[in-house]
């Protein structure tokens, strides 16, 4: 049994410190400490992270670090890396970190079917993916009519979509621009219809990505895509135009995809943590195996940092603790992630799933209902667009919204003065948010004291993208440990899947189910108007 988080002595210390610092201004913290920026700036692999524009003092950091210690972050972290079944509600290991371990590492996991050599299995699949990706990219793997593949369509949803879709967009400058890569996720027929509208079946390859191979959206979209293909090229074409990524070989075979063209992964890889597994096949096709390995290397860089850096110098731990500080002691309900790179346009959406599906829980891993806030609402848009939209509320609204600003020294498109202007805005925003502006007119007064983390790197390379992802993965992990929740289940998602299946049956056979009066009346309105 873990000690209840709010009963830890460090929690009580933080309650007192929060009270003491209720009115402390970031402006004053800088004025009284000329070393402040250096004191709170960390280097983690290729990331340069500045935490100095936060409402923290050495005392606050010490108490937060003690909270991490008392909550057992280091022990849990080591259990995760070792493959202990820390996903207790599903009795599973949590080993996405094994997906990026070097081939020379060893990790043996006891499974129901005997011991598994995890790192060997991981590298076997990476090699299989690399052989396939190389064959497609150089034209050895051709479609049913003998033509080279020029379009890849990834069909998957949630964890089987957001990671590769985000990463592909992030790394487009590193991709083969002759290859068109698209992502279909929504069951809305528009998604698949728009994705294939201008494609040629003879040169299109579909990757059906589903851990379970039982997800209604993915299977429905995959069937529609299969019909689109076979209407043009006949049933035999499926073998050359469909591959699968899954843990469920028999369902892949039932769908009609040859299991020789299936890339596996394991139940110890959660969907939202799976971009480094075969789920990243579309990304590997786009950027090539060598750069995909660099991406894995970046994930591993931060795994190593997370594992070895002392808590008070550990970047994901510090990000997590600051989140706890504002959520639990200053009532901040949300957290904005603001990338100053259009390539990271989908990064906030990716993090929404990573964070909100992991820590959007209100019972602890032991089953007790929590009496404190857990996971924040994550949101964001790339700068500078957000500045002309919602930043007003961050600057002058009544709510406290801690923000992460992510920027790069070098643009992928060096055109004129664009990038310096982008970054001028980047620096100006964090300065204004922290320091504010006095004015005689209350409407023009900026109180400041809005906390931000600044994350800089030289360029958005595959390696740096891997580092950014792992940074947030481990931030989420640490917060989950402190809040005592199981970050690795998602029963909230599963309820929706069950309810939709019931109603889909009623819509198909025009029967009436047992619902509340509102739901019944809405379903009946739909039936009368469809
Ligand atoms: C992720 C979730 C969820 C999942 C999708 C798709 O952590 O479990 O988003 O990835 O529901 O599931 P399948 O990959 O099984 O189709």
How far CA 423 is from CA of 82, 99, 339, 355, in Å, comes to 41, 34, 11, 27
Ligand 1 probe mutation, 216, 245, 493, 497, most atoms within 8 A of CB: 493
Give the span between the Cα atoms of 126 and 100, in whole angstroms. Answer: 10
Residue 1: what pLDDT? 40
How far from chain centre, in Å, is Cα 136? 28
Per-residue pLDDT of the chain (530 residues; tens, 9 = 90+): 456 899 999 999 999 999 999 999 999 999 999 999 999 999 999 999 999 999 999 999 999 999 999 999 999 999 999 999 999 999 999 999 999 999 999 999 999 889 999 999 999 999 999 999 999 999 999 999 999 999 999 999 999 999 999 999 999 999 999 999 999 999 999 999 999 999 999 999 999 999 999 999 999 999 999 999 999 999 999 999 999 999 999 999 999 999 999 999 999 999 999 999 999 999 999 999 999 999 999 999 999 999 999 999 999 999 999 999 999 999 999 999 999 999 999 999 999 999 999 999 999 999 999 999 999 999 999 999 999 999 999 999 999 999 999 999 999 999 999 999 999 999 999 999 999 999 999 999 999 999 999 999 999 999 999 999 999 999 999 999 999 999 999 998 888 878 888 899 999 988 888 999 999 999 999 999 99
Q: Cβ(93) to ligand 1 under 6 A? A: no
Q: Which of 260, 263, 290, 297 is nearest to 103 (CA)?
A: 297
Active site residue 388: yes
Q: Which of 309, 366, 323 is nearest to 74 (CA)?
A: 309
Which tokens sit at 17? Answer: 């410190």
In angstroms, what is the span from residue 186 Cα to ligand 1's centroid? Answer: 13
**Binding site membership of 357 for ligand 1 (Cβ less than 6 Å):** yes
Distance from Cα 20 to the centre of ligand 1, integer Å: 44
Give the ligand 1 atom nearest the CA of 159. 10
54 is catalytic: no
CA gap 71, 6 in Å, rounded: 10
What's the 278 CA to ligand 1 centre distance in angstroms? 14
Catalytic residue among 357, 381, 474, 475: 357
How many Å lie between the centroid of ligand 1 and the Cα of residue 448? 40
Q: How far is CA 88 from the centre of its chain?
A: 22
The CA 493 to ligand 1 mean position distance, Å, reads 9
CB 455 within 8 A of CB 284: no
Enumerate residues 6+ apart whose C-beta is below 8 A from 307: 77, 78, 81
- Among protein residues, the one with the nearest Cα to ligand 1's atom 1 is 271
Establish whether 515 is a catalytic residue: no
Which of 429, 451, 417 lies closest to 323 in space, CA to CA? 451
Query: Across 40-106, where does the E strand assignment appear?
Result: 41-44, 47-50
* 2 φ, ψ (degrees, to nearest 5): -85, 150
């Amino acid at each position: 049994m873990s000690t209840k988080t709010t009963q830890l002595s460090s929690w009580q210390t933080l309650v007192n410190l929060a009270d003491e610092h209720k009115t402390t201004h970031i402006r004053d913290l800088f004025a009284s400490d000329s070393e402040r920026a250096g004191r709170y700036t960390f280097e983690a692999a290729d990331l340069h992270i500045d935490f100095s524009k936060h409402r923290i003092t050495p005392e606050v950091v010490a108490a937060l670090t003690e909270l991490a210690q008392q909550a057992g972050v280091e022990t849990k972290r080591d259990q995760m890396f070792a493959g202990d079944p820390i996903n207790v509600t599903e009795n599973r290991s949590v080993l996405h970190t094994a997906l990026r371990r070097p081939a020379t590492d060893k990790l043996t996991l006891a499974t129901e079917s005997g011991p598994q050599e995890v790192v060997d299995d991981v590298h076997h699949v990476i090699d299989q993916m690399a052989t396939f990706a190389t064959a497609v990219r150089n034209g050895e793997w051709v479609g049913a009519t003998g033509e080279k593949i020029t379009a890849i369509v990834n069909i998957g949803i949630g964890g089987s979509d957001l990671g590769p879709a985000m990463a592909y967009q992030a790394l487009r400058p590193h991709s083969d621009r002759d290859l068109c890569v698209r992502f279909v996720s929504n069951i809305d027929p528009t998604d698949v219809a728009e994705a294939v509208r201008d494609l040629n079946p003879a040169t299109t390859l579909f990757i059906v990505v589903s851990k379970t191979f039982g997800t209604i959206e993915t299977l429905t979209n995959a069937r529609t895509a299969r019909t689109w293909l076979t209407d043009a090229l006949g049933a035999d074409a499926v073998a050359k135009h469909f591959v699968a990524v899954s843990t469920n070989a028999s369902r892949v075979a039932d769908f009609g995809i040859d299991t020789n063209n299936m890339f596996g992964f394991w139940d110890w890889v959660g969907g939202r943590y799976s971009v480094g597994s075969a789920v990243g096949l579309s990304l590997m096709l786009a950027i090539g195996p060598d750069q995909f390995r660099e991406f894995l290397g970046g994930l591993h860089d931060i795994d190593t940092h997370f594992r070895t850096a002392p808590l008070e110098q550990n970047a994901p731990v510090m990000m997590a603790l600051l989140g706890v500080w504002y959520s639990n002691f200053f009532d901040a309900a949300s957290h904005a992630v603001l990338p100053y790179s259009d390539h990271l346009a989908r990064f906030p959406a990716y993090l929404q799933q990573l964070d909100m599906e992991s820590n959007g829980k209100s019972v602890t891993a032991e089953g007790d209902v929590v009496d404190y806030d857990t996971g924040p609402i994550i949101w964001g848009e790339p700068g500078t667009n957000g500045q002309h939209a919602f930043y007003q509320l961050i600057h002058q609204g009544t709510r406290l919204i801690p923000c992460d600003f992510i920027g790069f020294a070098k643009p992928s498109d060096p055109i004129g003065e664009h990038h310096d202007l982008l970054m001028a805005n980047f620096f100006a925003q964090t300065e204004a948010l922290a320091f504010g502006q006095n004015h005689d007119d209350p409407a023009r007064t900026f109180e400041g004291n809005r906390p931000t983390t600044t994350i800089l790197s030289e360029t958005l390379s595959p390696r740096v993208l891997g580092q950014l992802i792992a940074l947030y993965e481990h931030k989420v992990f640490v917060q989950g440990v402190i809040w005592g929740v199981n970050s690795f289940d998602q029963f909230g998602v599963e309820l929706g899947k069950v309810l939709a299946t019931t109603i889909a049956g009623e819509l198909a056979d025009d029967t009436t189910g047992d619902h509340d009066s509102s739901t019944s009346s809405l379903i009946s309105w739909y039936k009368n108007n469809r």
